[in-house]
Amino acid sequence: MNAFYGLFIVCALALAALVGVGGGGMTGLFAVAIPYAAVAIFVVGFALKVMCWAKSPVPFRIPTTGGQQKSLDWIPYARYDNPVNSRDTVVRMILEVLTFRSLFRNTTAVLGKTPDGKPQVGYFSEKWLWLAAILFHYSFLLIVIRHMRFFTEPVPLPIQWLDWADSILQIYSPTLYQTNLLFLAGLGWLLARRLLYPQIRYISNAADYFALFLIIGIALSGIYMRYVAKVDIVSIKQFTMSLVMFSPVVPKEIAPSFFVHLFLVCVLLAYFPFSKLMHLGGVFLSPTRNLPNDSRIHHHENPWNPKIKPHSYEAYEDDFREAMVEAGLPVVKQLEEEA
Amino acid sequence: MYDGSKILAGLIVFLALVTFPFWNNFGAKEWKQPELKLPPKEVATQCIESKEYMREQHMKILDDWRDQVVREGKRIYIAKRDHKEYQMSLQNTCMKCHDDKEKFCDKCHTTASVSPYCWDCHIAPKAKGN
Ligand code: HEM
C-alpha cells in the first residue's frame, strides 16, 4: 500500500506539471517561480539542518566499530576500521563516503535447517544492495555533472570529456549514455528489494517509496526527452542559462515534457532537506565514522557536566562527623580527636 | 558546538559546489542561441522538414536513414511536410546545402557538448561558402 502512495504522489506531480504547462497557462509558475523557490529551499534548508545537527552534543567517542581495537603494541590493530588518530579517521571517512564500506558489510538473515532438520537462522553476506547503491549514486553524480552543459558557456573541457566517455559505446543517435542504463538498473533493484522481500516491505514507509519513485520519475522523464520525444536542446539551454543569470526567458519551442522533468527535480530539491535523503550531509556527521576510537588513550570529559570540585572522604567526614556519630555511623577520626 | 569550524567549512564548500551554475555565470546578462549560417536563397529556400522538426529530430532522421540505406537498401525519403522525395544521404542531401560544418553543425553541437559519431566515417565537404 505504501508503495502505491509513493507512486500515486509522483504521478500526480508529473501530471500537475503537464497540465499546468501544456494548456494550463502556468508556464511562468512552473518555469520560473517554482525553480527559484526550490533552489532557495534546498540551500537554506540544507544549511539549517546541518547547523542544527552541529549544535547537538557529542559527549564522547562511540567505539562500537568493526575491527581490532588498538591495545598492546604486539597486537596488530585495524588501522582504518578502528582508527586512533585523525589521519586514519579521515581515511575511514573518505572510504566510507566514496565506497560505502559499511554497506559492504551488509548481511541478510535466512531461515534454514540444521543437518538434523531443526530450523536455524543463518546470516549471509549480501552485496546486491551495495552494488545497486554504488551504481545508483555514481550514475546520479555523473548525470548531474553532465547536466552542467546546460549551465556553462563555453562548456568546460572535463564536462565535454565526461559526455564523450559516457556515450563511448556509440549506440543510437542521440547517443546512449551508459549512466542512463546503470542509473535505472540501480534504482530498479533499490525498488525491487523493497517490494520483493517481505521483511523489507514490512519496514518500508511511503516516504521510502516516494523518494525512489520521484528519482525514477526524473530519470524516466529525462530519458523520454532524450531518446523518445526529442526536445530542442538549444532552446532549453537558452532557458536554463537565462534562469541562472536571473533574467528568465522561456522560449516557446520547449516541449511540456521538459517541464515535467524540471518540476520533478524542483520537488526533489525542495523535499530534500526534510527527508531521509539528507544522509548526503548526515554521513559526514556520523559519530561512529568520524570520531577516532581513542577513549582509552585520552580522557574525555562530558562537556556539559557542571564543574564539581573534588571532595575527599576526609573532607566529607569533617563536614558531617557529628551527624554521623549521632546516627551511629562509624567514623575514621573520632569526635574527641578532632577537638 | 563541537567541531563547529570543520562542519561550517564543509557546509560552505558544499553550498559553493551546488550553486556553481549561478556564480559561474555571475555578471553575464544574456546567453544567445548560436547564429547559424544558412544556405543562400539561390541554393535552397527550405529544408526537408520544418525548422522546428529538424531542430528536435535531425539526429533521429539521420539514424533512421543510416539503417534504411545500409540495412534495407532503401534510399528515398518522402518528406512528412510536402511529400517531396529526397535521397537519404548525409553528404549528398544535407551537406549539399549545409556545406559548412563549422558554421552550421558544430555551432549547436559545441554548445550542447555533443560529439556525433557521423564524422568518424563521413568526411565533411570543403565549404563552398554557400
Ligand atoms: C536531480 C537532478 C537531475 C537528474 C537526476 C536528471 C536526470 C536526467 C536523465 C537521466 C536524463 C537522460 C539523459 C541524460 O542522462 O543526460 C536527463 C535529461 C535531461 N535533463 Fe535532467 N536531470 C536532473 C536535473 C535537470 C535539470 C535541473 C534540468 C534543466 C533545468 C534538466 C534538463 C534535462 C534535459 C534538457 C534533458 C534532455 C537531454 C537530452 O535530450 O540530451 N535536468 N536528465
Instruction: State phi, psi for A253 to the nearest 5 degrees.
Output: -75, -10
Residue B128 has pLDDT above 80, yes or no: no
- Report how far apart, in Å, the C-alpha atoms of A90 and of each of A26, A138, A226, A242, A286 are: 49, 21, 40, 40, 13
Query: In this predicted structure, what is the pLDDT of residue A84?
Result: 92
The secondary structure of residue A317, as a DSSP letter, is H
Query: In this predicted structure, what is the pLDDT of residue B26?
Result: 93
What is the C-alpha to C-alpha distance for residues A318 and B127, in angstroms, rounded to an integer? Answer: 106
Query: In this predicted structure, what is the pLDDT of residue A339?
Result: 58
Domain edges within chain B: 40-130
Query: In this predicted structure, what is the pLDDT of residue A165?
Result: 96
As a whole number, the mean pLDDT across chain A is 93
B64 at the A interface (CB within 8 A)?
A: no
Give the confidence band of A334 by pLDDT, cuts at 50, 70, 90. confident
| Interval B91-106 mean pLDDT | 92
A259 C-alpha to ligand 1 centroid (Å): 11
What is the C-alpha to C-alpha distance for residues A54 and B5, in angstroms, rounded to an integer? Answer: 10
Residue A163 has pLDDT above 90, yes or no: yes
Inter-residue contact A267 to A38 (CB < 8 Å)? yes
Residue A106 has pLDDT above 70, yes or no: yes
What is the C-alpha to C-alpha distance for residues A150 and A235, in angstroms, rounded to an integer? Answer: 10
CA A38 to chain centre: 19
Query: In this predicted structure, what is the pLDDT of residue B8?
Result: 96
- Report how far apart, in Å, the C-alpha atoms of A272 and of each of A33, A42, A278 are: 18, 7, 6
> What is the percentage of chain A residues whose pLDDT exceeds 70?
99
Say which CATH architecture domain A2-308 belongs to: Up-down Bundle (1.20)
d(CA B127, nearest CA chain A) in Å:
24
Pocket of ligand 1 (CB under 6 A): A 140, 143-144, 146-147, 150, 174, 177, 180, 183, 218-219, 222-223, 225-226, 231, 233, 236, 240, 258, 261-262, 265, 268
Q: Residue A54 and residue B57: Cβ atoms within 8 Å?
A: no
Nearest CA to ligand 1 atom 37: A226
| B14, B112, B117: residue with CB nearest A237 | B112
Give the confidence band of A141 by pLDDT, cuts at 50, 70, 90. very high
| A55, A159, A303: residue with CB nearest B113 | A159
Give the confidence band of B130 by pLDDT, cuts at 50, 70, 90. low
- A173 vs A50, which has greater pLDDT? A50
Query: Which residue's C-alpha cell is 562500537?
Result: A64
Query: In this predicted structure, what is the pLDDT of residue B129?
Result: 65
| pLDDT-wise least confident of A29-43, A78-92, A304-318 | A304-318
Which tens digits make up the pLDDT trace of B71-89?
999 999 999 999 999 999 9
Give the confidence band of B125 by pLDDT, cuts at 50, 70, 90. confident
Domain edges within chain A: 2-308, 310-339
What is the C-alpha to C-alpha distance for residues B113 and A161, in angstroms, rounded to an integer? Answer: 9
Q: Is A303 exposed, middle or buried (0-12, 13-18, 19+ CB in 10 A)?
A: exposed
Residue A300 has pLDDT above 90, yes or no: no
Residue A59 has pLDDT above 90, yes or no: no
What is the C-alpha to C-alpha distance for residues A84 and B71, in angstroms, rounded to an integer? Answer: 65
Identity (one letter) of the amino acid at A65? T
- For the entire predicted model, the pTM comes to 0.91
Residue A307 has pLDDT above 80, yes or no: yes
Q: Residue B111 and residue A173: Cβ atoms within 8 Å?
A: no
B128 at the A interface (CB within 8 A)?
A: no
| Interval A129-156 mean pLDDT | 97
Q: Residue A175 and residue B8: Cβ atoms within 8 Å?
A: no
Buried b (16+ CB within 10 A) or exposed e, A49-83: bbeeebeeebeebeeebeeeebeeeeeebbbbbbb
Identity (one letter) of the amino acid at A127? K
Residue B50 has pLDDT above 80, yes or no: yes
| Interval B15-40 mean pLDDT | 94
- Which of A142, A226, A262 is the best mutation target for the ligand 1 pocket, counting ligand atoms within 8 Å of the beta carbon and taking the most? A226
| B15, B31, B59: residue with CB nearest A245 | B31
| Interval B27-53 mean pLDDT | 92
